[in-house]
Structure 1
């Protein structure tokens, strides 16, 4: 490590211990976040807002883009999914870049990529220019999905970590809702303007600029600073975002975690030759796939198109689609509340079964009801029901469990690899959906999603561990022993490991 010599290192540690009256002990809870931490959270989660807006805005822009750019089902899928393909690589590379160059610096770089990608897609004259810039925008989206939660986790105290980190999930669905509302307003007021989709897209430059300016006032993660040996600077940051007493007591823990970070970077794919580590890795892959094969992003990306095909006009579909955004935000609140009260396994099982039923009913009513407003409202009610189960159960459990199950040595490898796979499945769904609906219709497409969902339920029942109430070390020990019974039971501790 670099930044300070061993003598400086020991001097800082002695100063902290002396000031604390002895060796550092576990920090007492501080209650609510202080103003500095609130500001850091509000600014950095603009990355989540951009993530949500840029993935959701295509929903309402597509009807206008199709006419303006002459999109076919194939090019519609390509334009939509190019962002998702880029996001897979952004997520895969984002963590490593943040480890090397720092969380704050890379989030600022992401703001620049968001800005370049947004301007590129907003002014693209044709599909050939649009697709590469959608890929660039995807790099930023994927990078944000990997970097922002890690930055928040490292800035927040342990007792507030779950509360702070899950705000990013709220900002993602809030960004999607903002995109749906913006699409509806612009699409209804200026419906005769062929290029109105460009205004829908270009508005994302505002939060991108705000993110870059805001991060100028945000300090670097103390854990990353410690990982490169800048212990004095790490201590100064802690004093800004903790009480004075807690900052002194937490400093030794940060030093210890810096050594753990160094150990975690030693993990590689060779470690998957160990059977119990390979089992955890494959379970993580399965969790990531289960979250996406519900077809959730067919609704988040093509909700307006689905409602148009169900019987709404373009303007009515844009307005009705706001309901999908509203329920996503409300359900995320419910999901976060449930995480502290319900086991992961039953929560994910109920979520998967609920989405399967909703998908099957969409297929049934799309086939049985005549096209018209009545069918449109029925389909809207079912997409809202689907999202209630997806965003209230499946999505929050997915991201929480992926942060819990991997042992320290392969935690970076596991998170990066599973995020890459999750985005690639997302890409496959986004690309194939307009092609599938063109070939087998809405009913056939949603029947297919429902059928695939049955395999997800079987996977959860057979392989998913129960992580609620268990420390990360306890989980690692149970996987190591291969204690299937213990892995299926919740822990006895009242505190749930969310970091």
Structure 2
């Protein structure tokens, strides 16, 4: 690598390369939305509501374990190396799902695909958070969210094109699924040009390499000053035992882990993935035909992309907490209206268009506010030595809840109906607002090392106050 690279442009290259992992995350979770109606009619698969939920949710179960496992492995072997390995797994699993001859094979490869999706969901934001200067961290990390929804949008577009043009072809869903192999190859090739995280290099004693990388992505004076700060944090970490789950028994770390898990759960109980995975079925349930639902679902993908662009602008200027509170209020209100109108206007010709409008409104708040802040906070609250593990555990809970919702939603939709199902999400949304208001800290405007020192000092102050009180 040439040392005279422009820091800003090289940082941009790193961001684009790494966020192809987010694009794969988005495409693989979004493609099932349009593929399911055709998979259900396939003679080879012949899905029922239960096996439909299983095929969808098995990726999510794999993602839970992928996030947990890859977080630990990334702390040991490096962020860049793990993302490279994940790109290879994305490629193989994409081929496996596209050529699956039966439900069992599909479920197995969907699980492996989930391992890659989960690993990318925990690794890419953490990697970007460690590479970014603190004042750009919010925008850089949330660029991954843009790539996620961009991947979902591409999935919806290709689903609609293939679904309309090849509706009578029994295996059209295979073409939808195999397209994911292309960005997997791009991710692998682009990550070969990207250096390892300087913070991870410092933690492994590779100080000269860490400083060299910093000089590639910072001005020289700033690189040297930041390197000293990273070294100081690494020295503190070296005085304690090797990273393990036991360390989260320390009060301040336990508090951070619970916040990380809580924010992850908040993201899921909005009900976002009931729309991202089953948006076509929701629109069919409200009155659209299959082709019309596939085309209308593109609107969901488009508004998601626009909303995330606005969200990236917001996180650079507004504190995290108010953005998240506004987003949760908007998503909960939109779902409440969907539930009410599904009862009041049942059978009406206007209902499908109202439901479509409200899902668009829901996604505007979700992808513009809730999504970007979720991934950003999880990526930045944990100390360097525990970032991979803490992020992995938090995202594990996100995916486990995602799995439960992904499996249960089609069963609930077919048995209880649209309105009752969404009333449940409304109740959960109110609980999510309460959690953020009471427990989530503000993280904007501090370096990762300053955040670590801040959380430590809160715990030390609490211990000091407790000792005085007991005395």
Query: Do these two structures clear the TM 0.5 threshold for a shared fold by scoring above it?
Result: yes
Structure 1 residue 38, shift from structure 2 partner: 2.0
Secondary structure of the 1:266 match is coil
- Asked if the contact 1:405–1:476 (Cα under 8 Å) also holds between the matched residues in 2, the reply is no
Q: Could you give the per-residue CA deviations for residues 133-172 of structure 1, whole angstroms, max 9, x where no partner exists?
A: 0000000011111111222233333343333222111111
Residue 469 of structure 2 corresponds to which residue in structure 1? none
Aligned-residue CA RMSD (Å): 2.5
Residue 420 of structure 2 corresponds to which residue in structure 1? 444
Residue 34 of structure 1 corresponds to which residue in structure 2? 8
Counting only pairs closer than 5 Å after superposition, residues 5-20 of structure 1 correspond to structure 2 as: none
> 1: CA distance between counterparts of 2:85 and 2:248?
33
Counting only pairs closer than 5 Å after superposition, residues 157-236 of structure 1 correspond to structure 2 as: 157-236=133-212
CA 1:474–1:230: 2 relative to 1, 3 Å: closer
> 1: CA distance between counterparts of 2:101 and 2:393?
35
Structure 1 residue 343, shift from structure 2 partner: 3.7
1:304 is aligned, of 280, 284, 294, to: 280
Mapped pair 1:378 → 2:354: yes
Number of aligned residue pairs: give it.
453
Secondary structure of the 1:396 match is helix
Name whichever of 457-466 and 165-174 sits farther off. 457-466
Structure 1 residue 267, shift from structure 2 partner: 4.6
Structure 1 residue 337, shift from structure 2 partner: 2.5
> 2: CA distance between counterparts of 1:220 and 1:461?
36
> 1: CA distance between counterparts of 2:200 and 2:249?
30
Structure 1 residue 49, shift from structure 2 partner: 0.6
- Asked if the contact 1:263–1:409 (Cα under 8 Å) also holds between the matched residues in 2, the reply is no
- Asked if the contact 2:75–2:389 (Cα under 8 Å) also holds between the matched residues in 1, the reply is no
1:422 is aligned, of 385, 398, 418, to: 398
- Asked if the contact 2:201–2:207 (Cα under 8 Å) also holds between the matched residues in 1, the reply is yes
Residue 63 of structure 1 corresponds to which residue in structure 2? 37
CA 1:237–1:451: 2 relative to 1, 3 Å: closer
> 1: CA distance between counterparts of 2:38 and 2:348?
21
> 2: CA distance between counterparts of 1:396 and 1:466?
14
Q: Could you give the per-residue CA deviations for residues 339-362 of structure 1, whole angstroms, max 9, x where no partner exists?
A: 344443333222222222211111
Structure 1 residue 410, shift from structure 2 partner: 5.1
> 1: CA distance between counterparts of 2:381 and 2:226?
25
Q: Could you give the per-residue CA deviations for residues 250-309 of structure 1, whole angstroms, max 9, x where no partner exists?
A: 443444454356468735444444445434433332222111111110000000111111
Q: After the TM superposition, which segments of 4 or more aligned residues of structure 1 sit over 6 Å from their partners? A: none
2:367 is aligned, of 391, 394, 403, to: 391
Ranked by relative contact order (alpha carbons within 8 Å, sequence separation 6 or more), the top structure is 2
> TM-score scaled to structure 1, two decimals?
0.84
Residue 291 of structure 1 corresponds to which residue in structure 2? 267
Residue 466 of structure 2 corresponds to which residue in structure 1? none
Q: Which runs of 5+ in 2 are unaligned?
A: 1-5, 464-471
Mapped pair 1:142 → 2:122: no
Larger radius of gyration: 1
Structure 1 residue 433, shift from structure 2 partner: 0.3
CA 1:259–1:193: 2 relative to 1, 3 Å: farther
1:324 is aligned, of 285, 297, 300, to: 300
> TM-score scaled to structure 2, two decimals?
0.89
1:123 is aligned, of 86, 94, 99, to: 99
Counting only pairs closer than 5 Å after superposition, residues 340-355 of structure 1 correspond to structure 2 as: 340-355=316-331
> 2: CA distance between counterparts of 1:42 and 1:344?
23
Structure 1 residue 60, shift from structure 2 partner: 0.6
Residue 477 of structure 1 corresponds to which residue in structure 2? 457
Q: Which runs of 5+ in 1 are unaligned?
A: 1-31, 484-499
Secondary structure of the 1:54 match is helix
- Asked if the contact 2:126–2:387 (Cα under 8 Å) also holds between the matched residues in 1, the reply is no
Secondary structure of the 1:446 match is helix
